[in-house]
Structure 1
Amino acid sequence: MPRPRVHDLERLLDVAESLVAAGGPEGFTVRALAAASGVSNGAIYHAFGSLPVLLGRVWLRAAGDFLDLQAELVDAVRGSGPEAAVAAVVAAASAPAVFADRRPAAARMLMEVRREQLLGPEVPPEPAEAMLALDERVSAMLTRLARALWGRADGPSVAVMTMCVVDLPTALFRRALTGPTPTGGPVVGPDNRERLEAAVRAVLTLPPPPPRGGRPTPSGKD
């Protein structure tokens, strides 16, 4: 049986992404994907090998695209000094809302579905390595932002950055990203985006706590 072409694989992943976002991983089956996509069960198995690998590809593609967008938004901030560093944190925090504008199903899936739900307890080696690489990208972004603003990248400073870039957007955007899909207009409204920026800026008015050793880690060192 011939393997689907690259663009067909991307379309399959798009359809799978929408199905997982709409019904969660529990109800997702190869049969449902075949019915929705028009691709046979056999061709899907031939392309991905197993359901866990397919679901892993769906989640990893969405997460990788999100991190690409987040880096793009941070890189677009111009200037130097504290204000530019704060603006970069705000840009990173806004990424879920911007991603939802472009890929609402992917944004919903990343917000609502934990990757452990998709991959299960036994992760195949290739997705496991890809997940580790994504975790390293997240850590690198948080470290980069902390160093740019405070000249340090120890545990407490990265924890504050995590609060700004991960915890606050999750708290403020979750209802919009997991609720009914709006007809027209952005998934996350301007009011929530403005409140997120205000919250991030407020958190950043206070310096992070000192590290356990009592002295901040110098810029450029972990």
Structure 2
Amino acid sequence: MAPPRKHDTDVILDAARTLVLRDGPRAAGVAAIAEASGAPVGTLYHRFGNRNGVLTAAWIRALERFQSGVLAAAETEDPLEAAVGMTVAGVAFGREHLDDARLLLDLRPSDLLDGPDKEFQDRLAAMNAPLIEQLRRIAAGIYGADGPRELDAVARAIVDLPYAALRRHARAETLPDWLEADIAAAARTLLTS
């Protein structure tokens, strides 16, 4: 049995995320992340390989947190309720993990990394596949088809609406209490009009 890790991965990733959000991606070098997290430089190289590995792990962790809530909300059979739930879950993610939401809102992988590699692109495509499958299911259930126009209509509600709301409020200390209710009503209106 391996000994427990001395330096918690989440602490390291939180430190990297904080550096990126506060000072920009170039400020998040391995030495700076090590200093901010309290983990030795060697630990970061051993666990993540290099700077790209740490920043990739921080970005992927944020995306996984987002997707887990959104996909859980999609599990209801009614396509309209699944869509509304996914939309609200996107905002709830921002409420629960505001710094992760800021990371995903502010930075694309190409902003963070020195050239995302094919392995990263393949992983991202695999992570997004279940979401795209749900968008297709919802489009077919609400509109009777999952063509480009129907998918675009569903994406406006499930993707664009919470993204815009989170972007608007991401710099506040907390999100407004009423945001989920307003987003749910707006999504329902978009999808049924």
Bin of the TM-score, shorter chain as denominator length: 0.7 to 0.9
Matched, 1:26 2:26: yes
TM-score, with structure 1 as normaliser: 0.76
Residue 85 (str. 1) matches residue 72 (str. 2): no
* Letter paired with 2:100: A
Task: Report the secondary structure of 1:19's partner residue.
Answer: helix
Map of 1:201 onto structure 2: 188
Larger helix percent: 2
Secondary structure of the structure 2 residue equivalent to 1:26: helix
* 2:104 paired residue number: 110
Give the Cα separation in 2 of the matches to 1:202 and 1:147.
18
Whether 1:10 and 2:1 are equivalent positions in the alignment is: no
Contact preservation (8 Å) 1:21, 1:106? no
* Counterpart position of 1:220: none
Contact 2:87–2:162 under 8 Å retained in 1: yes
Aligned CA distance change for structure 1 residues 160 and 74 (closer, same or farther; 3 Å): same
Shift of 1:157: 0.7
**Aligned-pair distance for 1:59?**
0.8
Q: Is the 8 A contact 1:60 1:130 kept in 2?
A: no
> What are the ranges of 5 or more consecutive residues in structure 1 without an aligned counterpart?
207-222
Tell me whether 1:168 sits opposite 2:161 in the alignment: yes
* Amino acid aligned to 2:74: V
- Report % sequence identity: 29
Deviation at 1:7, TM superposition (A): 6.8
Amino acid at match of 2:116: V
- CA shift in 2, pair 1:22/1:141, >3 Å: farther
Partner letter of residue 71 of structure 1? L
Match status 1:151 vs 2:144: yes
CA-CA distance at 1:4 after TM superposition: 8.5
The alignment status of 1:130 with 2:123, answered yes or no, reads yes
Match in the other structure for 2:48: 48
Structure 1 residues 102-142: Cα deviation after superposition (integer angstroms, max 9, x where no partner) = 2221111111212221124x323432221121232331221
Given that 1:30 and 1:44 are in contact with CA atoms closer than 8 Å, whether structure 2 keeps it comes out as yes
Question: What amino acid sits opposite 2:177 in the alignment?
Answer: P
The size of the alignment, in residue pairs, is: 191
Whether the 8 Å contact between 1:18 and 1:106 is mirrored in structure 2 is: no
The change in CA–CA distance for 1:6 and 1:127 in structure 2 (over 3 A counts) is farther
Question: Residues 156-179 of structure 1: CA distance to partner in whole angstroms, max 9, x if unpaired?
Answer: 1111111111111122221212x1
Query: Are 1:94 and 2:88 an aligned pair?
Result: yes
Q: Choose 1 or 2 for highest CA Rg.
A: 1
Amino acid at match of 1:10: D
Q: Distance in 1 between matches of 2:57 and 2:103?
A: 13
| Cα distance in 2 between the residues matched to 1:105 and 1:141 | 26
1:102 and 1:172 map into 2 onto residues whose CA distance is 15
- Return the alpha-carbon distance in structure 2 between the equivalents of residues 145 and 11 of structure 1: 37
The answer as to whether partners of 2:79 and 2:137 remain within 8 angstroms in 1 is no
